[in-house]
Amino acid sequence: MSVRELVVLGTSSAVPTPRRNHNGYFLRWDSHGVLFDPGEGTQRQMRLAGLSATDITRICLTHFHGDHALGLPGTIQRIARDRVAHPVRVAYPAQGREYWERLRHATPFHDTDVIVPQPVAGTGACPLGEDDLRLTALPLRHSVAAYGYRLAEPDGWRMLPDRLAEHGVTGPLIGALHRRGWVDAPDGHRVDLTDCALPRPGQTLAFVMDTAYCPQAVELARDADMLVIESTYLDSEEHLADPHGHLTARQAGRVAAEAGARTLVLTHISERYDADRDADFLAQAAAEFDGPITLAQDLDRIPLPPRSR
């Protein structure tokens, strides 16, 4: 059975706290395991979450600030130590190549050749994904080069058993109908895919970290089933958000509303806020966005919502 869920490894911003580790997010999507922004302590958090290095098939770095990247050396060295056999593609902003090289080879270890760098650059969408999971990156607005990511499943079809039976389409003919779009039924009449199936929208997740409000954040989140987005500040510190290239919880809610996202996950919380302010993050985001909102906590497991129909 396929599993699609976000495993939250860390939810702090620049400074970790006793209840919030540095950033880290693991997306389990069927056979894919996408690790976003491994900050310090990622290895330990993965262990606590029951994840292993062999679960990682791709790493996506939004930018090279320490709270989003200082866990990369340990993660790569763990991949090498555990002798992961499959390729692990690593997307990162090309403008930070020197930091990639430093982190990739931060200390001596028995290296591995499964790490495949995929630098992203430019002002438009950067396609990176496999056939069954389309990954694109878009530049955001931060104090250093930063990119957000969008993972999208191609649209498909949902077969209708009663319609298949009506047309006598059974066994291998069902697969042929799905692949080719039509088949000849056993009695000779032509059966089109639309006779026996309904369109099935593909699921989409958007990952938007350190950025001030910008159109690209909305574009990444357009119609996403889940938007994972930074919400560093509350309204009382809104004056800090734009100059530092960050969002408030209210602005994060506004991005979700403008994009038509289905669910919203808030994270990247400033160390200035204690647990008694958690409800304020939810309330201020909800003032802009009327869908389901989760304020992420370390080691949360958040399933993607059921498919829309």
Backbone conformation region of residue 50, classed left if phi is above 0, alpha if psi is from -120 to 50, else beta? left
Which amino acid belongs to residue 187? D
Q: For residue 200, give Cα distances in angstroms to 156, 157, 158, 160, 260.
A: 5, 5, 6, 12, 18
Q: Is 67 a catalytic residue?
A: yes
Distance of alpha carbon 107 from alpha carbon 55, whole angstroms: 23
Q: 37: closest CA among 21, 19, 17, 50? A: 21
Q: Which residue has the tokens 């530049």?
A: 139
Write down the catalytic residue from 30, 37, 55, 67. 67
Q: 133-157: b or e for each residue (b if 16 or more CB lie within 10 Å)? A: bbbbbbbbbbeebbbbbbbbbeeee
The whole-angstrom separation of Cα 140 and Cα 5 is 25
Annotated catalytic sites, by residue? Answer: 67
